[in-house]
Amino acid sequence: MTGTNYLTGAEAMVRMLEAHGVKHMFGLCGDTTLPFYDALARMDHGIQHILTRDERHAAYMADGYARVTGKPGVCEGPSGGGATYILPGVIEASESSVPILAITSDVATTSRGKYPLTELDQAALFKPLSKWNASLDDASRLPAMVRAAFRAMTTGTPGATHLALPFDTQKGPVDEAEIWADARHRSYPAERAGPDLDAIEAAADILTKAKSAVIVCGGGPVLSRAEKVLHRVAALLDIPVATTVSGQGSIAETDPLALGVVGSNGGVPATRAVVDQADVVVFVGCRAGSVTTERWRSPAPDTTIIHIDSDPMVIGANYQTDVAICADARLALEALARSLEARTDLPGFGGAAQSRAAWDTKLAAFTPLAASQETPIRPEAVMASLMDILDDDAIVVADPGTPCPYFSAHYRWRKPGRHFITNRAHGALGYSLGAAMGAHVGRPSVKTLSVMGDGSFGFTCGEFETMVRHKMPITCIVFSNSVFGWIKAGQDAGFGQRYYNVDFNRTDHAAVASAFGVKSWTVKDPDDLRRVLKLAVEHDGPTLVDIHSQPLHEAAAPVSEWVA
């Protein structure tokens, strides 16, 4: 058509990402991605593409990036194996309410059904595991579909989206006039939903009449950046504020009202008791799932429940709910604060006193273990050393296994906000290194740690090359105990100590990391622990500390199902 300027589909994808404010993307090359890579090479777009060593870690990097920036993370990979490898990171982000866009190139639409190499039904593969997903079979619809992906992942409850990008679509024509973006969808949460004010008043009525109440925060307050108004509500009621593992950062854990983590992973009897004795529990951005509630035993089923969540399907799924407030966490808490401030009959729940007593009990058990000179080194000693060494704004990304429960129970975050990241949706090993790299790219001015067990190290060590290539000053810590410790601890506690296929040979993780160019140390003596950790944290390049540590089945791990 005369007077119309056209781009190729690949060029249009670059321009659409640019229009949505994308500055970084993570991914891995492949045959079906060649036109897209060529467009990235030729065009002036301001996007840094970070080449990863596999697609799974590209998605984890996008996840960590999105968590610390408040902007969607973007990852990409090729067809076939690339699409299947990127999938674990997509589902982790989506189930964690983290917005990432995964772009997977695909075989040409004209090749479908002819048995081309790497063909699979990408749209069907990603449909049940992402918030929204489409195949860009028509180049002219590409800009609209990209806008839809950004709209889907940033509005409502955030989540992951996926776009399949066929080879022929990358070469097809796109009208340049269609290249535009809605600025609201460059960050999240976008287009926040406000609460029903009648529900807010009902919640305030219940709270003013309660004898004892507690707030339990999931990941929602941090995702919504509701930390300040959460504290405002808590201070009005002198109410204890507990968090799930994902909710850490909702309140500084050194705050007088902060109870700490509750639930089977990181919770302890002293914190659980506060929830159990409450007659009213307020869930905020929390799914009240099996870990948080000790398999729905804490709080008890007959507790009065007020539930705030942006997803209506979450509310009432596990507890009979007296007041349902389907809204963005920050807007709901702001409305609740206004309602409470207008009242003269506010109770005081003794939150500061309850929280202090719980922490005192927890610290009484933790302190002697943290000071222990036993070998292998106790994980508590690592927590105590890091609390002394790290700045308040440091980011710690922890894998499942040994790191997660110890950081959740014992590391006290001194500032609210996103300082702790762990993959609580599906708990795949090997998450922390990729997510830490994404977090560093998103927030390069602070120190970032990746903490893993040696099981996770085996899943992820190829990305040390990426970390070195980009000179990322991330410190990695490996709890080395030659075992898939979480499973062995389960066998110890619940299966008569019948240990089967959970032990493996010890790897010299420091030597492996050194071979990639990472400055590394091995620590076996507790006397060396703090000194070496300080050297690693203060070094201006990538570092790793391999700590020969106590295995979980022999430790005092804060995991309730292992406690006799």
What pLDDT score was predicted for residue 4? 87
Cα–Cα nearest to 58, from 434, 423, 430, 395: 434
182, 205: one domain: no
347, 393: one domain: no
Return the CA Rg of the chain: 24
Query: pLDDT (tens digit, 9 = 90+) per residue, 408-429?
Result: 999 999 999 999 999 999 999 9
DSSP 193-214: PPPPHHHHHHHHHHHHH-SSEE
What pLDDT score was predicted for residue 2? 52
**Domain of residue 496, CATH code:** 3.40.50.970
pLDDT averaged over every residue in the chain? 97
Q: Which residue has the tokens 């942006």?
A: 310
On whether residue 365 sits in a domain, the answer given is no
- The band of 561, judged by pLDDT with boundaries at 50, 70 and 90, is confident
Q: Which residue has the tokens 């500084």?
A: 252
Taking a C-beta distance cutoff of 8 angstroms, is the pair 224, 328 a contact? yes
Query: pLDDT (tens digit, 9 = 90+) per residue, 482-513?
Result: 999 999 999 999 999 999 999 999 999 999 99
Determine how many CB atoms are found less than 10 A away from the CB of residue 343: 12
342, 398: one domain: no
Beta strands 420-422 and 448-453, pairing class: unpaired
Report the pLDDT averaged over residues 238-261. 98
Q: Which helix (H) or strand (E) holds 103?
A: strand 100-106
Residue 107 in tokens: 């075989």
Question: Among 296, 325, 353, where does a domain finish?
Answer: 353
**Alpha carbons 93 and 84: distance in angstroms, whole number:** 15
Q: Which helix (H) or strand (E) holds 530?
A: helix 526-538
Alpha helices in 20-117 (DSSP H): 34-42, 55-69, 81-95
What pLDDT score was predicted for residue 18? 98
Above 80 in pLDDT, residue 280? yes
Query: pLDDT (tens digit, 9 = 90+) per residue, 380-408?
Result: 999 999 999 999 999 999 999 999 999 99
On whether residue 282 sits in a domain, the answer given is yes
| Phi, psi angle pair for 189, to nearest 5° | -75, 135
Above 50 in pLDDT, residue 313? yes
338, 406: one domain: no
- The band of 1, judged by pLDDT with boundaries at 50, 70 and 90, is very low
313, 459: one domain: no
On whether residue 333 sits in a domain, the answer given is yes
Task: Give 528's contacts (C-beta < 8 A, 6+ positions apart).
Answer: none
Question: Among 137, 167, 186, where does a domain finish?
Answer: 186
CA distances from 152 to 97, 281, 364 (A): 12, 31, 47
Query: pLDDT (tens digit, 9 = 90+) per residue, 119-135?
Result: 999 999 999 999 999 99
| Phi, psi angle pair for 207, to nearest 5° | -65, -35
Determine how many CB atoms are found less than 10 A away from the CB of residue 302: 9
Above 60 in pLDDT, residue 533? yes
**Domain of residue 257, CATH code:** 3.40.50.1220
Question: Mind spelling out the 3-state secondary structure of 452-489?
Answer: EEHHHHHHHHHHHHHHHHCCCCCEEEEEECCECHHHHH
Residue 221 in tokens: 């307050």
Determine how many CB atoms are found less than 10 A away from the CB of residue 194: 12
On whether residue 395 sits in a domain, the answer given is yes
- The band of 532, judged by pLDDT with boundaries at 50, 70 and 90, is very high
On whether residue 173 sits in a domain, the answer given is yes
156, 289: one domain: no
397, 534: one domain: yes
Q: DSSP class of residue 76?
A: E
On whether residue 364 sits in a domain, the answer given is no
Query: pLDDT (tens digit, 9 = 90+) per residue, 350-375?
Result: 999 999 999 999 999 999 999 999 99
Residues β-bridged to residue 175: 6
Q: Which residue has the tokens 């307020």?
A: 282
CA 403-409-415 angle, 5° bins:
95
Burial of 468 (0-12, 13-18, 19+ CB in 10 A): middle
Residue span of the structural domain in which 71 resides: 6-186
SS3 call for 355: helix
Taking a C-beta distance cutoff of 8 angstroms, is the pair 158, 97 a contact? yes
Residues β-bridged to residue 282: 215, 306
**Region label for 471, one of left (φ > 0), alpha (ψ between -120 and 50) or beta (otherwise):** left
- The band of 563, judged by pLDDT with boundaries at 50, 70 and 90, is confident
On whether residue 359 sits in a domain, the answer given is no
Side-chain half-sphere CA neighbours of 389 within 13 A: 23
Query: pLDDT (tens digit, 9 = 90+) per residue, 189-206?
Result: 999 999 999 999 999 999
On whether residue 191 sits in a domain, the answer given is no
226, 339: one domain: yes
Question: Among 186, 215, 237, where does a domain finish?
Answer: 186
What pLDDT score was predicted for residue 564? 58
Task: Give 262's contacts (C-beta < 8 A, 6+ positions apart).
Answer: 216, 242, 243, 244, 271, 272, 274, 275, 292, 298
Residue 34 in tokens: 């060649």
- First-residue to last-residue Cα distance in the chain: 76
What pLDDT score was predicted for residue 261? 97
Determine how many CB atoms are found less than 10 A away from the CB of residue 474: 23
SS3 call for 171: helix
Question: Structural domain tally of the chain?
Answer: 3
336, 249: one domain: yes
User: How is the chain split among helix, strand and coil, in percent rounded to 5?
Assistant: 45, 20, 40
220, 168: one domain: no
26, 103: one domain: yes
Residue 76 in tokens: 């990409």
Percent of the chain with pLDDT over 70: 99
Taking a C-beta distance cutoff of 8 angstroms, is the pair 335, 341 a contact? no
177, 223: one domain: no
Report the pLDDT averaged over residues 254-277. 96
